[in-house]
Amino acid sequence: MDNSLITVTSPLLPDLDEFYGLLKEIWNSKYITNNGSFHKQLEKELASYLKVPYVSLFTNGTLPLITALQALRVTGEVITTPYSFVATTHALWWNGIKPVFVDVDLKTGNLDPNKIETAITPKTTAIMPVHVYGKPCETKKIQEIADRYGLKVIYDAAHAFGVEVDGESVLNAGDMSTLSFHATKVYNTIEGGAMVMHDEKTKQRIDYLKNFGFAGETTVVGPGINSKMDEVRAAYGILNLRQVDEAIAARREVAVAYRNALRSVEGVSFFDDMPGVKHNYSYFPIFIDERKYGMTRDELYMKMRESKVLGRRYFYPLISEFSTYRGLESADPKNLPNAHKMANSVICLPMHHALRREDIECVLEQIVK
């Protein structure tokens, strides 16, 4: 990759010598996948770091979503957000479930709990919200609705690694939460992901399901899939966990610099930290009001690209605009005004631990007039 590019993100990489040391251990053991010792160690270390009872590692962040829906026997219709990465809704489709899109709250970009109830039908079995950009959903309100209607709640927490509300992990909300450890995330295992659950029995069932449903050599307890993380990526993950706090602190510095410079720019808005929340600064979205800013979002986006500043329009287009989902009744733009507003005005600025002062200045030069 061209080193002069300022990309939206850059992977957190473990020290190569340390990684080599762990690779040697793997080579010597000749045990390279299927719940090996590094896999077990990383599950324990993550549960402790994330302050959650149980973690099951996966090979990416999409398969735990698909598997959670299977494990909870979710069917019929599921209420979800259109303002996310397409994997969220694809997980429903792969389970033969009809997605029902509900609009988001402009204050956070997350599913608006006040709009959930009108979308519930006799076929609704679950709610699948996303903590978009790592900003916590209104989990209490969502749980109240779920309890009232007997619905499951599965959080796509792909962006919410380490996020806490009043000292408690946001990953403990709902029936299950799923994480992505893709290279582009705050914490990565190259490709990877995880599911967080509340009890040992559920963890056992998920561990069976991610290994074809095998519970022992000759017993298959259900139609499982293969979504196991191997030893090499688990070892890489163990090393990255040791430096993730430092990386998040560096991201915070970037967020502070962006906010200080952008607060006075007319037509540009962004999210501030939420009270009581431990953020992970996984993304830094800005929203362009073209009438006040004097330039459209896409004009600014292209201008940035020409100067080698590669922001991204996460999440444009909305999931509800992709051909697979566009025909759904709930995908009607009239049903999703806030989501459309956000998708049509967003640019995620470069945000990662390795941005230098001069990179931040270069990004800001494109935006501050």
Residues of this chain that bind ligand T4K (CB under 6 A): 7-11, 60-62, 84-85, 87-88, 130, 156, 158-159, 180, 182-184, 193, 310, 312, 314
Residue 248 has phi, psi (to 5 degrees) of -65, -40
Task: Pick between residue 11 and residue 317 the one whose CB is nearest to ligand T4K.
Answer: 11
Min dist CB 153 to ligand T4K, Å, is: 16
Task: Pick between residue 110 and residue 293 the one whose CB is nearest to ligand T4K.
Answer: 110
Task: Pick between residue 176 and residue 293 the one whose CB is nearest to ligand T4K.
Answer: 176
Task: Pick between residue 8 and residue 170 the one whose CB is nearest to ligand T4K.
Answer: 8
Task: Pick between residue 82 and residue 113 the one whose CB is nearest to ligand T4K.
Answer: 82
Q: How many CB atoms lie within 10 A of CB 329?
A: 9
Min dist CB 332 to ligand T4K, Å, is: 23
Cα separation, 151 vs 176, whole angstroms: 13
Closest residue to ligand T4K in the complex (CB): 61
Per the DSSP assignment, residues forming a β-bridge with 287 are 269, 346
Cα separation, 240 vs 47, whole angstroms: 15
Distances, alpha carbon 127 to alpha carbons 211, 268, 326, in Å: 26, 32, 20
Task: Pick between residue 16 and residue 220 the one whose CB is nearest to ligand T4K.
Answer: 16
Q: Any idea what DSSP says for residue 111?
A: B
**218 φ/ψ sector (left φ>0, alpha ψ -120 to 50, else beta):** alpha
Task: Pick between residue 22 and residue 65 the one whose CB is nearest to ligand T4K.
Answer: 65
Q: Strand 152-156 relative to strand 268-270: parallel, antiparallel, unpaired?
A: unpaired
Tokens 């929203």 appear where? 287
Min dist CB 13 to ligand T4K, Å, is: 10
Min dist CB 25 to ligand T4K, Å, is: 25
Helix residue ranges per DSSP H, the chain: 16-29, 37-50, 63-71, 87-93, 139-149, 200-209, 231-262, 290-293, 297-306, 323-326, 337-343, 357-367
Min dist CB 163 to ligand T4K, Å, is: 13
Min dist CB 85 to ligand T4K, Å, is: 3
Q: How many CB atoms lie within 10 A of CB 285?
A: 23
Min dist CB 11 to ligand T4K, Å, is: 5
